Structure 1
């Protein structure tokens, strides 16, 4: 079956996979879910410990890079929970993904799920709430450098925080993109109460972490979380979003409006954690847990459904080459 076929827009999992294969690929695992969470938090804990053991600028810089990658991993684990693929039960998907992943990076499962399912329904088409993330591409190399400079400098991160506060207070519509849709104004007390309700979990979790580090005599180590959140986390999110949909076709064909990207060890530690680089496969069958996506990719490659994936370097060249 060729990807050039006009029928690919209507391709369904059952057109390519047997019933038994679909059941195998969509089988969830609590062990895999807990392992992914444990690995992510284990790496973060090692970064904090390394700063305590070896407090120097180089260790701090490495920690900022690694923690930023693990913050993106938390975002992907939240994404898995929103799809119901991180754990076997809905309760764990909603609550473990919320409190052990999403809320640490200021996102909750409920609002993210509502937003993200619209992206799957209208990927790269009018009505896609994430369209503004990829509309600027392709662009010039100078423009791309400016975008990354804003990320590295923390300007994009500060803007993201301001936007998150406004969204939590119900002043603008909640989104993960840069769109700003103002909502009807109410009494300021109502907006403040809504903001507190949405932010309370995030504040409580970080207060616990900061308190634990303070009591251990190493409160300064907590700063690495925020430096990473303001800088490398934004860089990695931008690269991830560009790789997934930038410079792909505008239309309903998931094999043409989405991209799978080849990821080595460094990419998996930064821009492609939790197998998020297998993005065609995810859009092809969103009920497949992250740890089964590589196997699904191999089957789809063997059956001529998906093409060989480009590298992240290839993606950067694509998005910085205006047509």
Structure 2
């Protein structure tokens, strides 16, 4: 019996996102609270396991714990992305609460990320497009660039050097109770709330480190964040629009999909189906593979896996 992966997809009719949404609106299903709760439970269990390993004195355990925690920090950002679109839980407050918690490990304000990300969906294909995570040369712009500059671009991207100063500025505004440029008073209040939560968590772990005379905050947060989560998150985000036609309004031209395997689809929380997500942002994450099967013939930027993408990227 053929599965959704090997059956012949039906070619959609002409038109852009509006036509696709009209034709495949039947793919929408009710948001499953249990599915997202199960995702959160698995993430929490793996994060707790990473913490236990990182606090064990054996060097191999420390390393394994830091790597696992860093990967779970990056996975949390992908789960948070689902809450930005109110696709985790059916209840808006539950989505917001989960989103705030999921953003803490990578210092991400839920309110700031949500506002910026929804504008990204609106403005992609125009010069006004901006993304929450600034990697410098965001989409791999062509042009005469020295080898030194290209190398610097990659260092900035994988160390997320632009993001951490952005966090410090945002946190300082929160402490000073100031609004954020370009955001409404309501959104600014939400951003301040998120930064207060993050700063409170940092303070709590720092105090615990002093009390226990053990650098808990270093092993459980700073090292996983800086050495693992940042680079892994950059690797996940890189293929989405990199070297696509980002001044085109056509989602088939400005975005990339990576089919990948079940492990990576889980790890990226379905964000590998990125064209499909931009075509129907309110489609439950679990339904993106079904939409992929329908629109696969129209995909312009498509790779069968992440290794395939990065192999071709390195080869130029």
Q: Into which bin does the TM-score normalised by the smaller protein fall?
A: 0.7 to 0.9
The answer for the alignment partner of 1:175 in structure 2 is none
> TM-score, length-normalised on structure 1?
0.74
CA displacement 1:228-274 (0-9 Å, x = unmatched): 211222212222222100011230111121111133366457xx421
Per the alignment, residue 139 of structure 2 pairs with: 135
**Contact 2:269–2:285 (CA<8 Å) still a contact in 1?**
yes
> Mind listing any 5+ residue stretches in structure 2 that lack a counterpart?
1-9, 175-179, 183-188
Aligned to 2:59: 57
Q: Matched residues in 2 for 1:195 and 1:223: separation? A: 27
CA shift, 1:208, in A, is 4.3
How do residues 1-323 of structure 1 correspond to structure 2 at under 5 angstroms?
7-8=15-16, 11-15=19-23, 17=24, 19=25, 21-24=26-29, 27-53=30-56, 55-98=57-100, 100-130=101-131, 134-137=138-141, 146-149=152-155, 156-157=159-160, 159-170=162-173, 199-208=195-204, 219-220=215-216, 222-250=218-246, 251-264=248-261, 267=264, 272-301=267-296, 304-306=297-299, 309-320=303-314
Aligned to 1:74, the other structure's residue is in SS state: helix
Distance 1:8 1:142, change over 3 A: farther
Which moved further from structure 2: 272-281 or 86-95? Answer: 272-281
SS of 1:255's partner is helix
Deviation, 1:30, is 1.0
1:243–1:315 CA contact under 8 A, matched in 2? yes
In the TM superposition, residue 159 of structure 1 has moved relative to its aligned partner by 4.7
Change (3 A) 1:50 1:104: closer
Unaligned runs of 5+ in 1: 172-181, 185-192
Alpha-carbon separation, structure 1, partners of 2:299 and 2:239: 15
Q: What residue is the counterpart of 2:6 in the other structure?
A: none
User: Aligned pair in 2 of structure 1 residues 314, 47: CA closer, same or farther (>3 Å)?
Assistant: same
Q: Is the 8 A contact 1:85 1:289 kept in 2?
A: yes
CA distance in 1, matches of 2:76, 2:47: 11
RMSD: 3.6
Q: Distance in 2 between matches of 1:80 and 1:286?
A: 10
CA offset at residue 204 of structure 1?
A: 1.9
Task: Report the CA distance shift for 1:149/1:126 in structure 2 as closer, same or farther (over 3 A).
Answer: closer
